[in-house]
Amino acid sequence: VTTPVGDLRSESSFIPYRQSVGRHRYELTTPALVLDASILRRNIATMAEWTRTHAKIRPHAKTHKCAEIARLQVAAGAAGITVATVWEAVAMADAGLDNILIANEVVGKEKLTRLAQAARETNFLVAVDSVAGADALSHAALSAGTRIGVLIEIDVGMRRGGVRTPTEACSLAAALSRLAGIVLRGVMGFEGHVVTEPNRALRATMAAEAMERLIACVEILERAGFEIEIVSAGGTNTYDMTGANPRVTELQAGTYVLMDTAYGPLVPAFKPALTILGTVMSRNERTAVLDFGTKVMAMDLGRPALVEPCATVRAVHEEHTLLDVQDDARLRVGEAVEIVVGYCGGTVNLNDVYHVVENDQVVDVWPILARGPGRSLVA
């Protein structure tokens, strides 16, 4: 295992973060992303336990962007990892992770070249949904003298990427079989339009319908003579629905490992391991103001909430979080406040590191990788 390309650990700007090791979680310089190691391990173990008797998991690492977390997931039995970008794929490969699914189409010469170079040493799977995309991937693989596995992405109702019909899937599979350097390994179909449905029974029905569409494609492909070894689908909120389908071979859920307020009520089996620690910097009447805002906390999904519910979040500005205080004795200037974020994946991408805590003490600092191409372009 080497230091991943673009790993903050090798830079002097990492030193201030390292100095927090040994401190109490409430003594961190704020704002600070806090990762509770025991909750993290429990979330990983809960998913590992479930997947032992159902579909496997190849967890989505776009959620955490962290090699240390990915290694814990693999050590618990994950079939590899899933990522969203070439930069995540390369950073994870550099960190020693293998069997990496890029659950996205990859386009663009530099990205394809970098991916194909990395594929000489690491096993990748890449989603494809067009002959043009597959053709460019095939050229990159041939130029690098390597072979790359592909999954045909099938739209199961989200209307994002993915071929729309079984007929299109079959003609793409036929085109793939004529391209050198790439090998058809299976299909993926993420039911992203289903995962935020709050009613569990309705979510289960919608997930089942989405999987019917996916499996219909699989069966038609198989009847046409294509071998479909991998059927990848599922998010955190549908893991025990999609993952119980006997034809689905693996899940690509990501959020379960960190959790947030958007997903918490939908999947109570997983608990928030991620929080942001802030400090009250102003207190007037019933308003307390924390020293961070949307520059370190993503607001795309749920509403942030205090770990200790002595106030509610009224608004989040760029550099301020405004709280309505219920308990007058609390939240004086200088007090530390811990917040469960509304959207963990977006929040992680806004931060440099996790402060890893065990029994409320910082025991390590883990870099967040691949927040852009940056130095990943250096082969």
Ligand X SMILES: Cc1ncc(COP(=O)(O)O)c(C=O)c1O
3-state helix, strand, coil in the chain (%, to 5): 35, 25, 45
Q: Is 259 left (phi over 0), alpha (psi -120 to 50) or beta?
A: left
Q: Rounded distance, CA 305 to CA 294, Å?
A: 14
Closer CB to ligand X, 237 or 321, in the complex: 237
Closer CB to ligand X, 57 or 323, in the complex: 57
Nearest distance, CB of residue 331 and ligand X, angstroms: 32
Rounded to a whole number of angstroms, the CA Rg of the chain reads 22
Q: Rounded distance, CA 55 to CA 59, Å?
A: 12
Closer CB to ligand X, 103 or 356, in the complex: 103
Closer CB to ligand X, 63 or 85, in the complex: 63
Nearest distance, CB of residue 84 and ligand X, angstroms: 7
Q: Footprint of ligand X on this chain (CB under 6 A)?
A: 60, 63, 103, 190, 192, 195, 235-237, 252-255
Nearest distance, CB of residue 330 and ligand X, angstroms: 33
Closer CB to ligand X, 90 or 103, in the complex: 103
Of 173, 182, 281, 269, the C-alpha closest to 217 is 173
Pairing relation of β-strands 321-325 and 287-290? antiparallel
Q: Cα dihedral sign for 208, 82, 63, 269?
A: positive
Closer CB to ligand X, 199 or 361, in the complex: 199
Nearest distance, CB of residue 196 and ligand X, angstroms: 9
Contact partners, residue 223, CB within 8 Å, separation at least 6: none
Rounded to 10 deg, the angle between the 86-94 and 109-118 helix axes is 20
| CA distances, 186 to each of 5, 23, 154, 201, 247 (Å) | 30, 48, 11, 29, 12
Nearest residue to ligand X, scored by beta-carbon proximity: 235
Q: Rounded distance, CA 199 to CA 274, Å?
A: 25
Nearest distance, CB of residue 234 and ligand X, angstroms: 7
Closer CB to ligand X, 187 or 323, in the complex: 187
Closer CB to ligand X, 122 or 252, in the complex: 252
Nearest distance, CB of residue 120 and ligand X, angstroms: 26
CA angle 316–320–323, rounded 5-degree value: 65
Nearest distance, CB of residue 311 and ligand X, angstroms: 28
Nearest distance, CB of residue 163 and ligand X, angstroms: 15
Please check whether residue 266 is in contact with residue 301, taking contact to mean a CB–CB distance below 8 angstroms: no
Please give the backbone phi and psi of residue 188, each rounded to the nearest 5 degrees, phi first.
Answer: -135, 150
According to DSSP, the residues that pair with 277 across neighbouring strands are: 32, 338
